[in-house]
């Protein structure tokens, strides 16, 4: 959602004949339409906005009557935009962005950052750092309200209305339209439960070939660990995945249970290594480090609250993610 219901002027309207129409267009209806499209559901949109579903449906019908065109096809189970509706939605988003920019210009006069900040990140990062850092941020800035989505799926920041995401990546970000600010490099190591290797820990990558492992990647990718050793040596170790997942916490749990060798970010398993619950496998060899970046939608102006949250996390996260 781009704007809260209270931030939309209650009685804003524009004489649509200025736009070639002969009726009054209520700009609130643009906001309601944008939320319905975001949720793909009148029920979910009405719940988020805080108005009855019937009222919302009447608002969208009124908008269609004003425009003289059908914007969406809807049944009790399905919602889809017409071609005209898709084009109109793009313009709605631009209008709401400008309304938000106008609001931001006023809010920047405030001494303290105020408002909601929506953040998307992986579940592993929550466990490694954000569970502690989020309360610290809000203690320093009581006017900031946080909404945190911890998910390992790809989140479309613009379409889903998030202010920024914290993303691990190798190479450029997947979406080139985003603005990326590097936070830190996160080193990954091979770990296993003590005693996992009955004859002792391997001393050479070739001894690890074919070992039971935990696959921390989307299923179907190459099941190898790309290791780099002293003097720039490289060795690709093929392993036998006993668990396949895209969640670092599950991979850690599998390693602790003795299911297999896992490649884990050091911040996630640092305490386990320190306390002896896990041991390093081939400690003289390393995997490629991932980069953690803050990703922001390039076409949306950041509010003071968003800028404060980004600056705080960029300052504090490197300490939590160091080796």
The DSSP bridge partners found for residue 137 are none
Identify whether residues 164 and 251 lie together within a single domain: no
Query: Is the Cβ–Cβ distance between 116 and 147 less than 8 Å?
Result: yes
Same-domain check for residues 182 and 296: yes
Q: 289 has which bridge partners? A: none
Task: Please write the tens of the pLDDT for every residue from 51-93.
Answer: 998 999 999 998 998 888 999 888 767 788 999 989 999 888 8
Selection from 65, 68, 71 nearest residue 34 by Cα: 71
Report field, pTM of the whole predicted structure over 0.85:
no
What is the CA angle 32-35-39, rounded to 5?
140
Chain segment 234-261, per-residue pLDDT in tens: 999 999 999 998 888 899 999 999 999 9
- 290-297 sheet: strands from edge to edge: 144-150, 115-121, 164-169, 290-297, 178-186
Is residue 202 located within the same domain as residue 241? Answer: yes
**Which of 53, 63, 74 minimizes the C-alpha distance to 31?**
63
> Which pair of structure tokens corresponds to residue 284?
């003289």
Which residues are CB-contacts of 229 (< 8 A; sequence separation ≥ 6)? Answer: 205, 235, 284, 285, 286
Q: Within this chain, do residues 157 and 305 fall inside the same structural domain, yes or no? A: yes
**Is 170 found in the same domain as 254?**
no
- What range defines the domain where residue 141 resides? 115-186+291-321
Residue with the two structure tokens 């631009």: 94
Judge contact between 251 and 216, C-beta under 8 A: yes
Q: Which residues of the chain have pLDDT under 50?
A: 1-22
* Claim to verify: residue 197 and residue 274 sit in the same structural domain: yes
Nearest of 316, 307, 305 to residue 141 by alpha carbon: 305
Instruction: Report the SS3 class of residue 13.
Output: strand
Rounded to a whole number of angstroms, the CA Rg of the chain reads: 25
Predicted local distance difference test score (pLDDT) of residue 12: 39
Domain total in the chain: 3
CA distance 269 to 214: 14
Average pLDDT, the chain: 84
Confidence at residue 107, expressed as pLDDT on a 0 to 100 scale = 63
CA distance 94 to 103: 14
Which pLDDT belongs to residue 27? 80
pLDDT given for residue 312 in this prediction: 96
Q: What is the CATH number of the domain that holds 30?
A: 1.10.10.10
Question: What pLDDT, on a 0 to 100 scale, did the predictor assign at position 8?
Answer: 42
Same domain, residue pair 253 and 163: no
The CATH number linked to 162 is 3.40.190.10
* pLDDT value for 301: 65
180 and 194 in a single domain? The answer is no
HSE-CB for 125 with a 13 A CA cutoff: 26
Are 296 and 282 part of one and the same domain? no
């Amino acid at each position: 959602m781009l704007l809260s219901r209270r931030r939309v002027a209650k009685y804003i309207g524009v004489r649509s004949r200025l736009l070639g129409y002969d009726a009054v267009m209520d700009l609130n209806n643009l906001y309601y339409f944008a939320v319905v499209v975001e949720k793909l559901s009148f029920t979910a949109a009405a719940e988020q906005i805080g108005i009855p579903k019937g009222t919302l449906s009447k608002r969208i019908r009124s908008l269609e009557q004003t425009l003289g065109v059908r914007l969406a096809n809807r049944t009790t189970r399905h919602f889809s935009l017409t071609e005209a509706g898709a084009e109109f939605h793009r313009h709605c988003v631009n209008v709401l962005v400008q309304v938000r920019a106008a609001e931001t210009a006023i809010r920047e006069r405030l001494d303290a950052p105020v408002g909601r900040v929506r953040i998307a990140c992986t579940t592993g990062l929550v466990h490694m750092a954000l569970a502690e850092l989020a309360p610290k941020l809000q203690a320093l800035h009581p006017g900031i309200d946080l909404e945190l989505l911890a998910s390992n799926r790809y989140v479309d920041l613009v379409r889903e209305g998030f202010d920024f995401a914290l993303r691990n990546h190798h190479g450029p970000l997947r979406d080139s339209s985003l603005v990326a600010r590097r936070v830190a490099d996160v080193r990954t190591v091979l770990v296993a439960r003590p005693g996992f290797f009955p004859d002792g820990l391997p001393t050479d990558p070739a001894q690890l070939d074919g070992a039971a492992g935990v696959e921390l990647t989307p299923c179907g990718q190459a099941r190898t660990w790309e290791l780099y050793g002293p003097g720039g040596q490289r060795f690709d170790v093929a392993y036998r995945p006993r668990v396949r997942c895209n969640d670092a916490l599950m991979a850690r749990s599998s390693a602790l249970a003795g299911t297999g060798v896992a490649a884990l970010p050091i911040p996630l398993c640092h305490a386990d290594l320190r306390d002896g619950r896990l041991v390093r496998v081939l400690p003289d060899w390393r995997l490629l480090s991932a980069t953690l970046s803050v990703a922001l939608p390039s076409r949306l102006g950041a509010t003071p609250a968003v800028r404060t949250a980004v600056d705080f996390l960029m300052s504090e996260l490197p300490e939590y993610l160091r080796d």
